[in-house]
Structure 1
């Protein structure tokens, strides 16, 4: 159940639960409670980052927090204590936010499931969760006396020398009349801390003014303004000899930026490195005229504007027909068993850029979806991936990946295969180019398709046949009718 009774009677240790998908550890991103806080069943007590996602962890026990195990940034293994909870002295008193007591709520059981881990003891119960974003600004603390150190609430108002402003979740009232800053992602907060960026001075470009990772990176790249510039003495004026080539040069004070490989970033690095080590990959490519594909999409969306179909959805449909004809590419190599396993269903991965890095959410059994269902599923899945709300199970188990790197304004690429898959189709940007049509030069919508494949699962004939199948249907979408 992810918990146990402590040696002290009545104390309960809430252990880091099994987060699924073979994950054995998680890094503490942010504590949502402090020692002395009263928590309810299913209340989020900590936010952790695994190799797959950032996850809110709810506690199955109600009571008072007496100990937190682990500091922010510390990696905790599954099965080790996270929080120690003591029962309340008065279990029958009214509780804020409802009439049921904590003990009654705990007996009723939890309905909260964390990636296959249920915090309850029976049927579904009420769920209490703190909002991730507080829209009401917190009151600004009184200014300390001139020249005096800042006061810290964590020390009961005692002055703390060199205190730094805390970077937290929600809206904070910035000093000097600056606008409030909205920060949702813990990755953004951590990046700001590592790079010394004051989030109150960053203008958020996300929805509702939310500060995103790109905003912090842009603030880091901006030149630093010195508040009090002190002129340095001129060595030449003081008679100090100056070596040739160093006249007028002054130390810039720039420092290397050190970014730890943790959580999702480390998982990405490990997986890409393993892919390069194990898979003998080959990339082939072809330029195609996508004019007819865009015209087909426009006609479909004009007929039913309430359910639009994206170009990516049409490309996914074309890939699915190609994999039915060339199942060798919908496979993986089992090195331990010395065999090639061809998957019965197509679990389509969609490479998606997020604030936390590149992730590949998976549409399971995509071959069963219609083109409109594909379009809806793609839009919903990529949006959830960027918001960081997909569970780890949705980020693994793919059998073939579609990568639209054209959104970055590039024509071609030789991408790394998403291990342990056997192939990946890349799509470049669609641009106007001169093209020969029926012997005449014309301006057409042209894109480049690339196929990177594992040479262990097939040879060039199969890979070339699949890529030509995709290219022909991009140029002549009517051929899709024959594949339905």
Structure 2
């Protein structure tokens, strides 16, 4: 008896690791050569892995959901007799990788050679330029998309300034077609932009950059995982309504004019005050859903997460007990938390425990957003840019400050009617802002 270690083969296209998405075997199972043993997933495709030899499974790499590196042990198989070195090399060279979701690709061996799979689906390309180490053919004449070439020997008429510019650029003026009797700067520009055999290129166009590979690690990886988990697990739906912000903007102006030594108010503190007021009748929106345990917690306090863009990526500091603060306290705490998130001084407590999230693009605005829910919350609110637009009121056209407001909800917990009703309640507070200061 001997043991054969089957390492995860090079799947190609620079893949460094793969996730085990399904095991078709378990320790102790007897497998035959070519039996399917596992499905692994890369960022390109899901791939079926097959047993290279017959025998008994004595070890596996991990559980479903684990990520393993290319070249590391996938399974260990106990086989009858001994497997000599030549046989091992042959097995490694013939390891098959069957792509479930797209056309199979050749598998790279350790020596860099490309081997065909067992079904021999990979044939040399009929295009010689697609084959490795092919001799580069001589460049074919390039046909110009632009102006035609002047006949040889014809006298070129151009001003001294155009001649000097052409000489500085290394351009043969006999190749530039004039739109009139003389070659002008505009004719030279036309030649440079699309008549030089390089195709049309706008003047001053940015040149192509080299490809750049950046490993997704740290905060960026965490953000990616959280967003993927949210979209994978939560059935999102979004609702958008238009809100007349004219009155609340006028109130904000009055408050700022009488603020004394206090910081200037943005629209966010007033909006948060309205969000908290409206939540009184809609507790299902200020909630978190533990889908593994199977229960929803409707929170009494509003711990509002504020999506904040930082140099490291999106962070969500938490405004705790927002329902108990006045607009000036909200403004101060918003400013403090945003600064802490951006300079990296925010504590773990300040970055966790939110019950509802507000995400705003500020002046970038946009017409509407469909924000991704901050799991395990069940809703996220996204105000857009306030824009002055004409609005018909009692048959007359008035200039009003209008804003679209979006909400995304978890449809497992929040019904569409409830989400729309909540936005209508929020709209009422924002359009009648004096209610924010009434009990």
The TM-score with structure 1 as length reference comes to 0.48
Distance, in Å, in 2 between the alignment partners of 1:403 and 1:335 is 24
Paired residue for 1:371, among 303, 322, 327? 327
Deviations 1:214-234 (A, max 9, x none): xxxxxxxxxxxxxxxxxxxxx
The answer to whether the 8 A contact 2:378-2:414 is kept is: no
Q: Tell me how far apart the structure 2 counterparts of residues 241 and 254 of structure 1 sit (CA, whole Å).
A: 23
Q: Once the two structures are superposed, what CA deviation does each residue of 1:40-73 show, in whole Å capped at 9, x if it has no partner? A: xxxxxxxxxxxxxxxxxxxxxxxxxxxxxxxxxx
1:208-259 Cα offsets, whole Å, 9 max, x none, are xxxxxxxxxxxxxxxxxxxxxxxxxxxxxxx955155698559x78421112
Q: State the 1:439 CA deviation.
A: 2.6
* Offset at residue 359 of structure 1 (A): 0.9
The secondary structure found in structure 1 opposite 2:293 is: coil
Query: Structure 2: which 5+ residue stretches go unaligned?
Result: 1-136, 145-195, 200-206
User: Within the alignment, does 1:295 sit opposite 2:193 as a pair?
Assistant: no
2:247 corresponds to 1:349: no
2:289 corresponds in structure 1 to 333
1:388 pairs with 2:286: no
Give the SS at the match of 1:325.
Answer: coil
Of the three residues 198, 219, 222, the one matched with 1:267 is 222
| Corresponding residue to 1:430 among 361, 369, 386 | 386
Shift of 1:393: 2.4
Ranges of 4+ aligned residues in structure 1 off by more than 3 Å: 243-250
For residues 135-150 of structure 1, what are the structure 2 equivalents within 5 Å?
none
Provide the rounded CA distance (Å) in 2 between the counterparts of 1:439 and 1:277.
Answer: 47
Q: Does 1:446 align with 2:402?
A: yes
CA distance in structure 1 between the partners assigned to 2:432 and 2:394 by the alignment? 15
1:313 to 259, 262, 269: 269
Equivalent pair of 2:239/2:407 in contact (CA under 8 Å): yes
Task: Kindly state the Cα deviation for residue 287 of structure 1 after the two structures are TM-superposed.
Answer: 0.8
- In 1, Cα distance between equivalents of 2:236 and 2:398: 36
CA separation of 1:291/1:253 partners in 2, compared to 1, >3 Å: closer, same or farther? Answer: closer
- For the pair shown, the structure with the greater C-alpha radius of gyration is 2
CA contact (8 A) 2:365 2:386 kept: no
1:214 maps to what in 2? none
Q: Distance in 2 between matches of 1:253 and 1:401?
A: 39
* Distance in structure 1 (CA, Å) of the matches to 2:371 and 2:305: 14
After TM superposition, list the pairs within 5 Å mapping 1:180-219 onto structure 2: none
* 8 Å Cα contact 2:278-2:429 kept in structure 1: no
- Give the alignment's Cα RMSD to 1 decimal: 2.2
Whole-Å separation in 1 of the counterparts to 2:394 and 2:354? 41
SS of 2:280's equivalent in the other structure is helix
- Cα offsets for 1:385-409 (capped at 9, x unmatched): 1122112321121110111124324
Cα distance 1:253–1:338, how it changes in 2: closer, same or farther (>3 A)?
closer
Kindly tell me: are residues 245 and 385 of structure 1, through their superposed partners in 2, closer, same or farther at Cα, counting changes over 3 Å? farther
Task: Quote the residue 2:422 is aligned against.
Answer: 466
Q: Tell whether the 8 Å contact from 1:406 to 1:430 is kept in structure 2 after alignment.
A: no
Q: How does 1:244-255 map to 2 (within 5 A)?
A: 244=142, 248=197, 254-255=209-210
User: How far apart, in 2, do the equivalents of 1:479 and 1:424 lie?
Assistant: 23
Does residue 1:242 correspond to 2:140, yes or no?
yes
User: Aligned to 1:257, what secondary structure does the other structure show?
Assistant: coil
Residue 429 of structure 1 and its aligned partner are, at CA, apart by 0.5
